[in-house]
Amino acid sequence: MARPVIAIVGRPNVGKSTIFNRIIGDRLAIVEDKPGVTRDRLYGTGEWNGIAFSVIDTGGIEIDGEDSLLRSVRAQAELAIEEADVIIFMADAKAGVTHSDEEVAQMLFRSRKPIVLGINKVDNMQRMEDIYEFYSLGFGEPIPLSGSHGTGIGDLLDAAVSQLPVKEDIVYNDDVIKVALIGRPNVGKSSLVNAILGEERVIVSNIAGTTRDAIDTPFEKDGQKYVLIDTAGMRKRGKVYETTEKYSVMRSMQAIERADVVLVVINGEEGIIEQDKHIAGYAHENGKAAVFVVNKWDAVEKDDKTMQHFTNTIRDNFLFMSYAPVVYLSALTKSRLSKLLPVVNHVAEQHALRIPTNVLNDIISDAVAMNPPPTDKGRRLRINYVTQVAVKPPTLLIFVNDPELMHFSYERYLENKIRAAFAFEGTPLRLFTRKKSDQD
């Protein structure tokens, strides 16, 4: 089921990030310790009373220029209004109601979104008396909180979760490949959708998706059924919102969660920017099959080495996704477009690949024989056996004498050997180490 979205809004220094961390339990959207993985604390997931949701912490939004403080607060509010199902409006009991609070309150009123008013820094009973002036903001009863002490978080979540909409996924058969197109604005996602469908516009069996404004478009090609999950063309015009564009990736994140294969669309004319890594990193973290699609390739001046140079640039910027193939095409001229779906089919197949346990153990035994694990304080890692426990993505469980002896470099060596034998092209490969017990 697609998760609804809660956004935390408020002026600086009211404790938004502290409350955000309390809600998500300090989990980060991207936590993998590999080179090239961009960490982003603006997004996370939480659960309360059995209801899962995504959380946006708008505290990281900063805008330069005149009156930057007030513009930043407005930008946060606008981002939250656009992205969220429920908004937590945070204020500070110590500071009282400020002009910035009143400005944001007016914007939130006009949004017609459910608003929960949380008053932070209510750290003692005396401070409780300070919350009554916040009734003047017009959002009903203020909820007293202490981010530092962790009090009031339950009441805040009770109020927020009670107003979340119920979102249900559309269920497709297992033989349907769900493909999400992600990428920053102006990389040509909509044009690519239209080129794939052979239509002037996306109106083929449109189905309202579970994420706001997303479109699911089922189609069939050469006997294979697909669903395109398109998040393109959903950006609100306006100076403030364009400034916050790089933070507005929640729809892409939710489309990724529903997909089997993620097409990371890159503008061949402009090259790669940091936001591309943010979005692609989320696909990797969610264990999705992925293909880099370099669009607008027709507009790039090139020689016989241009494509290889661009591929090298992708590999340098996305070290954590070295498994993902790269397809060059032009949605406008449809040049090389015929190469895309065969690659999608291939990586979807690799994503669902299951290796027999005996074959897997033969590969691992050969790898250990060629390069035994190093010793650590006189102790050596011993691998008892390996088994595949899941697909989408392929997930392997390695039983050993002591998991602490599995160094990340040796784990990477084993992954490389497995990929050399079975490819797993286009899909992450997850390896988990567990101590062998008598029951095992």
Give the closest residue to 286 by CA, choosing from 264, 266, 260, 263: 260
Q: Is 188 annotated as a binding residue?
A: yes
Q: Is 48 annotated as a binding residue?
A: no
Write the pLDDT tens digit of every residue in 35-64: 444 334 477 788 899 888 988 887 655 544
Q: How high is the pLDDT of residue 213?
A: 47
Point out the domain boundary residue: 291, 323, 351: 351
- Say if residue 344 is in the same domain as residue 401: no
Helix (H) or strand (E) run with residue 258 in it: helix 250-258
Q: Is 419 annotated as a binding residue?
A: no
Q: Is 296 annotated as a binding residue?
A: yes
Write the pLDDT tens digit of every residue in 75-110: 667 777 777 899 999 999 998 998 888 888 888 888
In a domain, 117, yes or no: yes
Helix (H) or strand (E) run with residue 24 in it: helix 16-24
Write the pLDDT tens digit of every residue in 353-405: 999 999 999 999 999 999 999 888 889 999 999 999 999 999 999 999 999 99
Mean pLDDT of the chain: 82
Structural domain for 70, as ranges: 5-161
- Say if residue 408 is in the same domain as residue 334: no
- Say if residue 299 is in the same domain as residue 375: no
Q: Is 408 left (phi over 0), alpha (psi -120 to 50) or beta?
A: alpha
Task: Report whether 396 contacts 360 (CB < 8 A).
Answer: yes
Per-residue pLDDT band at 156 (split at 50, 70, 90) = very high
Point out the domain boundary residue: 304, 329, 351: 351
Measuring CA to CA, how many Å separate 387 from each of 188, 395, 431?
41, 9, 10
In a domain, 168, yes or no: no
Q: Is 61 annotated as a binding residue?
A: yes
- Say if residue 320 is in the same domain as residue 416: no
In terms of pLDDT, which residue wins out, 55 or 262? 262
Strands 379-380 and 375-376: antiparallel
Q: Is 246 annotated as a binding residue?
A: no
Q: Is 183 annotated as a binding residue?
A: yes
The helix, strand and coil proportions of the chain, stated in percent and rounded to the nearest 5, come to: 40, 20, 40
Q: Is 8 annotated as a binding residue?
A: no
Neighbouring C-alpha atoms within 13 Å toward the C-beta of 365: 9
pLDDT over 70, % of the chain: 81
- Say if residue 326 is in the same domain as residue 230: yes
pTM for the full model? 0.74
CA-only gyration radius of the chain, Å: 24
Task: Report whether 361 contacts 385 (CB < 8 A).
Answer: yes
Ranked by mean pLDDT, which of 48-62, 168-182, 323-337, 426-440 comes out on top? Answer: 323-337
Q: Is 15 annotated as a binding residue?
A: yes
Q: Is 362 annotated as a binding residue?
A: no
Number of domains in the chain: 3
Q: Output the domain CATH number for residue 140.
A: 3.40.50.300
Q: Output the domain CATH number for residue 425.
A: 3.30.300.20
Q: Which residue has the tokens 């102006």?
A: 186
- Say if residue 185 is in the same domain as residue 265: yes
Which whole number is the average pLDDT over 188-213? Answer: 58
Burial class (CB in 10 A: 0-12, 13-18, 19+), 126: exposed
- Say if residue 331 is in the same domain as residue 361: no
Q: Is 234 annotated as a binding residue?
A: yes
